[in-house]
Amino acid sequence: MGKLFGTDGIRGIANSELTPELLFKIGRAHAHSLKAHNPRPRILVGRDTRISGDLLEAAYTAGACASGADVVSVGVLPTPGVAVLIPLLQGDSGAVLSASHNPVQDNGIKLLSRDGFKLEDAVEAEIERLIDQADQLPRPTGAEVGRRLEESRAEDLYLAHLMKASRGRLEGLKVVLDCAHGAAYHVAPRLFRELGARVEVIAASPDGTNINVKCGSTHLEGLQAEVVARQAHLGLAFDGDADRCLAVDEQGAVVDGDQMMALFANWLKTQGRLRHDLVVATVMSNVGLEIALREKGIRLLRTRVGDRYVLEEMKSKSAVLGGEQSGHLIMLEHGTTGDGTLAALMLATLVHESSQPLSALAAGMPRLPQKLVNVRARHKDKLDSDEEIGAAITRLEGRLAERGRILVRCSGTEPLVRVMAEGPDLAELDDVVGELSRLIEQRLG
């Protein structure tokens, strides 16, 4: 069996690549790996709203119980909600069935530690080894077989956690929430209404098949139109498992993760809460973020793409704020992973406390134009060794010189190569990205 874990768990087409048989083995292996610390592990399991969630959760649960673990189902809940509840409910680990922003046919599983963090690479490698040996793992019998339990308070407990992070009421603030027909469809509107905001909600009627369909953080057009039409102060969009959030200002313009990090960093610094005056982001973040932070006396550290790498660097450097342009924002004062609902709350609070609209606040971060194209690449693993692609990247980097940059990388979760160019001239970026994309499609597609 090849490597299963990507940058964000294990993903694939549900019931085709990500089969119930595989989930059973994952459950067996994961539970067995925990028995060195607890002979009867307790694992919390949550999921998003996609139709395959029931099937795959049942298979994973059966496997974990077959290895002697008790599995506590928390139902449909954002990934960060599961992370929060693991230590709160005295779990030994957690699992989330979700493929985040991917289409409905995909699904995945993310495994979390007892502290709510994503598993370290070495732990994932050990679980992969056990998956290969799943049929030979011990099979407890009698009273040692695990049980499936349900936790009916899960959403209420997560909501209480979010309320503790709130700085106050939101009366008078009008907000539109796009819940992507995903995991935040119920808890996010509850949060904002309980805090007194005037809330309009779209894409909050999941039927198992409509998750992320022309809605959510990857399709902001509907939210942009609703914010303008309803004269709201801002709009907030989540992805399928609500670990990310993007925003729309009162004029309908997108406010991305970079701009939100710039706002949050300055906000925390003025309160004396931005430890070491440091923010962690990825190589994908706009150069404008560096400029905006530098002007406020704040340093930016960059990592590989993936919120797990951002988190590793944050923990290493004792930073409290980090994230990705895509809207994964990690605030270690309040959580262990990207939390879209928390980020939405913080941005709404900032707007509510400010005398300026979100458009004016976000304008504090200048943005160089970026062009990003996803290229289908069945042979993405050959990207780094392809000399023709390497030579083209070098030549085009020379064309941009010091005026911009090029970033070409493989997706960690899909058969894609992402081609990004950044610079002052959008027409030039179109040429550069177009040439590279065509070559990559020819060579690797």
Find which of 198-207, 383-392, 429-438 is predicted with most confidence, using mean pLDDT. Answer: 198-207
Architecture of domain 157-362 in this structure: 3-Layer(aba) Sandwich (3.40)
Architecture of domain 10-152 in this structure: 3-Layer(aba) Sandwich (3.40)
Q: Are 269 and 314 in contact (CB under 8 A)?
A: no
- Strands 329-331 and 405-410, sheet pairing: unpaired
pLDDT at 56 over 70: yes
pLDDT at 345: 98
- Would you put residue 330 in left (φ > 0), alpha (ψ -120 to 50) or beta? beta
How many residues are listed for the chain in this entry?
Answer: 445
**Largest pairwise CA distance in the chain:** 70
pLDDT > 90: percent of the chain: 87
- Strands 245-248 and 254-255, sheet pairing: antiparallel
pLDDT at 160: 97
For residues 93 and 71, give the distance between their C-alpha atoms in angstroms, rounded to a whole number.
Answer: 10
Q: Are 301 and 292 in contact (CB under 8 A)?
A: no
Count Cβ atoms within 10 A of the Cβ of residue 184 and give its class: 0-12 exposed, 13-18 middle, 19 or more buried.
Answer: buried
Domain(s) of CATH 3.30.310.50: residues in the chain: 370-444
pLDDT tens digit sequence for 209-246: 999 999 999 999 999 999 999 999 999 999 999 999 99
For residues 86 and 72, give the distance between their C-alpha atoms in angstroms, rounded to a whole number.
Answer: 10
Question: Residue 424: enclosing H or E segment and its boundaries?
Answer: none
Per residue in 222-251, is it b (16+ CB within 10 Å) or e — as a string? bbbebbbeeebbbbbbbbbbbbbbbbbbbe
Catalytic residue numbers?
A: 100
Q: What is the mean pLDDT of the chain?
A: 95
CATH superfamily of 370-444: Alpha-D-phosphohexomutase, C-terminal domain (3.30.310.50)
- Would you put residue 307 in left (φ > 0), alpha (ψ -120 to 50) or beta? alpha
Tokens standing for 168? 């106050």
pLDDT at 1: 53
Amino acid present at 208: G
Domain(s) of CATH 3.40.120.10: residues in the chain: 10-152, 157-362
Order of all β-strands in the sheet with 321-323: 299-303, 278-282, 321-323, 329-331
pTM to 2 decimals? Answer: 0.88
